[in-house]
């Protein structure tokens, strides 16, 4: 006797562990909508602010999905974003918006190539490589800016990279959607994405199947730093300045967003769509806790507890 084919809804809830991020996002949104309706949670401006505050984390988290899927990690993304804001602002003052964009991309490319070289050629684990780069990038940003904010006086740059809106829709939403779309296609529909997942799923087996795993790891680390630099460019455009503090601590939110979305810390598994939802969920939690009037210390406790619970529920028993 043939087994009945489950409905899409039945299949969704049958695989609830895999879909916990989507269920959790809806539950948290509904709870905040009911309890904070009198504080403007559902106000369109507030919801768009969540997107604005989340966009940079989402951009970096998409690239982090590739890094984690390949079995590596990048702890330097927040500091690289801060460094990029400074190099972009300084370059715009000398060479205009185009010079600023090129300087930002060059910053990400240089850092990523250095991280990749140390990890794949020298053999230093990416955890240590990028941990050291976190301090180096922040130190360089403080040094070249003399710890002062560097203003950006280019309205066109600020509009394109974070400060503008198309009607009520912020430009940052378009950037987030673009990076998410490209990342999803690259991970799920391209040979590169399949090689990334194979490398993280079993490096030895991947090597025997003809995959240059060192090249894959090098490329995902370069991709991560370039995404961090783009996030820094968006920070700079939105705030119209370069500051070494921008992006500080973002690496934790970036990794949490990817893991919440279903990407494995052990490699071999990743989903860009889940990562975007994870980033939005973190932004949703931050916004809701602020509207509740909690002190910063209480926000940290509540946010950490919610993230731990969500990750614990999403992980299968080993």
Nearest to 130, CA basis, from 34, 39, 220, 12: 220
Bridge partners, residue 242, by sequence: 150
Within 13 Å of residue 282, how many CA atoms lie on the same side as its CB?
A: 29
**CA terminus-to-terminus distance, the chain:** 33
pLDDT value for 293: 84
Do 190 and 170 touch, CB atoms closer than 8 A? no
For residues 315 and 21, what is the distance between their CA atoms, to the nearest angstrom? 11
pTM for the full predicted model: 0.90
pLDDT value for 31: 92
Nearest to 110, CA basis, from 118, 123, 240: 118
pLDDT, one tens digit for every residue, the chain (318 residues)? 455 555 555 555 555 556 778 888 899 999 999 998 888 889 999 999 999 999 999 999 999 999 999 999 999 999 999 999 999 999 999 999 999 999 999 999 999 999 999 999 999 999 999 999 999 999 999 999 999 999 999 999 999 998 889 988 999 999 999 999 999 999 999 999 999 999 999 989 999 999 999 999 999 999 999 999 999 999 999 999 999 999 998 998 899 899 888 888 888 888 999 999 999 998 998 898 888 887 878 777 877 777 677 667 655 543
Determine the length of the chain. 318
Do 163 and 175 touch, CB atoms closer than 8 A? no
pLDDT value for 84: 97
Gyration radius from the chain CA atoms: 20
Task: Report all structural domains of the chain as residue ranges with CATH numbers, in order of start.
Answer: 23-311 (1.10.3470)
């Amino acid at each position: 006797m043939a087994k009945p084919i489950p409905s899409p809804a039945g299949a969704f809830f049958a695989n609830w562990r895999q879909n916990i991020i989507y269920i959790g996002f809806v539950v948290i949104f509904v709870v905040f909508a009911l309890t904070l309706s009198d504080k403007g949670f559902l106000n369109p401006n507030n919801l768009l602010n969540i997107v604005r505050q989340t966009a940079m984390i989402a951009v970096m988290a998409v690239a982090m999905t590739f890094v984690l899927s390949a079995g590596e990690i990048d702890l330097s993304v927040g500091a690289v974003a801060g460094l990029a804001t400074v190099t972009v602002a300084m370059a715009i003052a000398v060479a205009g918006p185009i010079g600023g964009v090129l300087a930002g991309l060059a910053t990400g490319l240089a850092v990523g190539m250095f991280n990749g070289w140390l990890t794949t050629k020298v053999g230093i684990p990416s955890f240590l490589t990028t941990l050291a780069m976190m301090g180096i990038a922040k130190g360089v940003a403080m040094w070249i800016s003399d710890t002062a904010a560097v203003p950006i006086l280019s309205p066109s740059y600020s509009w394109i990279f974070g400060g503008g809106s198309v009607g009520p829709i912020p430009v940052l939403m378009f950037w987030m959607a673009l990076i998410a779309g490209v990342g999803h296609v690259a991970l799920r529909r391209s040979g590169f994405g399949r090689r990334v997942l194979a490398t993280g799923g079993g490096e030895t087996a991947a090597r025997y199947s003809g995959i240059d795993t060192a090249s894959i790891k090098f490329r995902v680390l370069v991709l991560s730093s370039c995404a961090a630099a783009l996030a820094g460019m968006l920070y700079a455009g939105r705030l119209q300045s370069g500051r070494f503090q921008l992006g500080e601590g973002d690496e934790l939110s970036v990794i949490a967003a990817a893991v919440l979305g279903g990407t494995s810390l052990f490699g071999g598994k990743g989903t860009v769509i889940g990562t975007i939802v994870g980033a939005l969920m973190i932004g949703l939690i931050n916004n809701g806790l602020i509207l509740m009037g909690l002190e910063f210390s209480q926000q940290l406790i509540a946010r950490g507890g919610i993230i731990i619970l969500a990750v614990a529920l999403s992980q299968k028993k080993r």
